Amino acid sequence: TRCPLAVATDTVAYWFVSPVWKLARVFAGSQQIYLTRPYEVIVFADEESSMIGSKGMAGRTVNDSAYYQRPDGTDIQTCLRRVGGDWDRLYQARRAPGEIAAFVELHVEQGPILESMHCQIGVVEGIVGQRRYAIAVEGSANHAGTTPMYLRRDALVAAAEVVLAVNQIGNTPGQQVATVGQLQVTPNAANVIPGQVEMSLDIRDLSGRHIDSLVEQLRHQLEEIAVKTDTRIRLHQRLHTEPALAAPHIQQAIAQVCEAQQLRYTHLPSRASHDAQELANITAMGMIFVPSAGGLSHAEQEYTSPEDCVRGANVLLQTLLQLDRHWPH
């Protein structure tokens, strides 16, 4: 038997456009189109949170069930039983490397690039790696009225310089992005000089080595900021994920389909996580993006036109046919 081709849909949005109906109709023989390999349509549940999802198929789950405990204290065993699952049989969901010939995922871009470039399809180069840190800035809380400026150890002033340093690193040549998204100021009072600031750092890029280089650059800048502001700045890693590159032959197949259908397309990285990132550990993967209106995602205003959805589904279908015809035997 030949390794199957797999295609996935996403369950995060308020509703999702699925190519399932089209694949079922075509491959049922109504149009006399048949594959030399079997195909599988996969719908993963909860692919973006801390639960199992595609990690189960890729064999990437954490063995300690306590890791998946819900905020209300409910354990994963109970949650799985409610939906007919069994924690002790989770291993049966794993697929061995090479068991699947290819995994292709269709998704909305969740960003503004396709729309800004007037492109109809995005050929995903890969899913970025990510480093997430907690940054702690320690100064000295003191009276805002009686402490002269030259004697202050203001943690928020230091934190402001950290934010600017992160923004500068994000704007250096390359495709990386760098973000400070959270700030917690202590004691957070109008008449008190901030004594401590806790903040987040998120850096993403298609090259893990490049991310690490940027983090090292930032470390040196943090040391300089700490000396300048008479504060202490510490960096603690909270998340480390490596990039998952899309297989070149799948990217090529998607591009060829776009050219055959005279669709405007571009190559771009995915800066959000997807199931394909997990499946890349066991098979060749590729992704197809369709435009997100206004670049909005995970919001009620999120919208992708039906026309773009149809184009994406057609490109997905033709990509699978292309891979099936030209896959090395």
End-to-end CA distance of the chain: 12
- The shares of helix, strand and coil residues in the chain, as percent rounded to the nearest 5, are 35, 25, 40
What integer pLDDT is reported at residue 9 of this predicted model? 58
* pLDDT surpassing 50 at residue 15: no
What's the whole-model pTM score? Answer: 0.85
Pair 144, 276 in one domain:
no
CATH of the domain at 167: 3.30.70.360
The predicted-structure confidence for 182-239, as pLDDT tens digits, reads as follows 999 999 999 999 999 999 999 999 999 999 999 999 999 999 999 999 999 999 999 9
**Residue 65 domain-assigned?**
no
What integer pLDDT is reported at residue 143 of this predicted model? 98
Pair 119, 248 in one domain:
yes
Alpha-carbon span 29 to 19, nearest angstrom: 16
Taking a C-beta distance cutoff of 8 angstroms, is the pair 131, 215 a contact? Answer: yes
Pair 252, 272 in one domain:
yes
What integer pLDDT is reported at residue 13 of this predicted model? 38
Pair 123, 248 in one domain:
yes
What integer pLDDT is reported at residue 49 of this predicted model? 56
Of the chain, the percentage scoring pLDDT greater than 90 comes to: 68
What integer pLDDT is reported at residue 16 of this predicted model? 47
Q: Give the count of beta carbons closer than 10 Å to the beta carbon of residue 261.
A: 14
**Residue 46 domain-assigned?**
yes
**Mean model confidence pLDDT for the chain:** 90
Nearest to 238 by CA among 131, 136, 137, 127: 131
**Residue 101 domain-assigned?**
yes
Quick one: average pLDDT of 13-42?
A: 64
DSSP codes joined into one string, 59-111: T---S-GGGG--TTS--HHHHHHHTT--GGGGGGG---TTSSSEEEEEEE--S
Pair 250, 232 in one domain:
no
* pLDDT surpassing 50 at residue 112: yes
**Residue 89 domain-assigned?**
no
The predicted-structure confidence for 133-186, as pLDDT tens digits, reads as follows 999 999 999 999 999 999 999 999 999 999 999 999 999 999 999 999 999 999
* pLDDT surpassing 90 at residue 14: no
* pLDDT surpassing 70 at residue 311: yes
Residue predicted with more confidence, 274 or 42? 274
Candidate ranges 35-44, 250-259, 306-315; pick with highest mean pLDDT: 250-259
Of the pLDDT bands very low, low, confident and very high (cuts 50, 70, 90), residue 109 is very high
* pLDDT surpassing 80 at residue 55: yes
Pair 116, 160 in one domain:
no
Pair 103, 252 in one domain:
yes
Counting Cα atoms < 13 Å in the Cβ hemisphere of 196 gives 7
Pair 30, 168 in one domain:
no
Domain range enclosing 40: 5-59+94-128+243-326
Pair 314, 191 in one domain:
no
Pair 149, 292 in one domain:
no
Domain final residue, candidates 241, 262, 290: 241
**Residue 64 domain-assigned?**
no
Of the pLDDT bands very low, low, confident and very high (cuts 50, 70, 90), residue 261 is very high
**Residue 294 domain-assigned?**
yes
Domain tally, the chain = 2
Taking a C-beta distance cutoff of 8 angstroms, is the pair 273, 127 a contact? Answer: yes
Residue predicted with more confidence, 52 or 172? 172
CATH of the domain at 53: 3.40.630.10
CA 204, 206, 208, 209 torsion: positive or negative? negative
* pLDDT surpassing 80 at residue 30: no
**Residue 10 domain-assigned?**
yes
Pair 166, 119 in one domain:
no
Domain final residue, candidates 219, 241, 263: 241
What integer pLDDT is reported at residue 171 of this predicted model? 98
Nearest to 129 by CA among 248, 282, 240, 215: 240
What integer pLDDT is reported at residue 41 of this predicted model? 82
DSSP codes joined into one string, 270-326: E-S--HHHHHTTTSEEEEEEE--GGG--SSTT----HHHHHHHHHHHHHHHHHHHHH
Of the chain, the percentage scoring pLDDT greater than 70 comes to: 89
Quick one: average pLDDT of 18-30?
A: 56
Alpha-carbon span 173 to 133, nearest angstrom: 22
* pLDDT surpassing 60 at residue 12: no
Domain final residue, candidates 198, 223, 241: 241
What integer pLDDT is reported at residue 24 of this predicted model? 56
**Residue 105 domain-assigned?**
yes
* pLDDT surpassing 80 at residue 329: no
Pair 105, 38 in one domain:
yes
Alpha-carbon span 135 to 200, nearest angstrom: 6
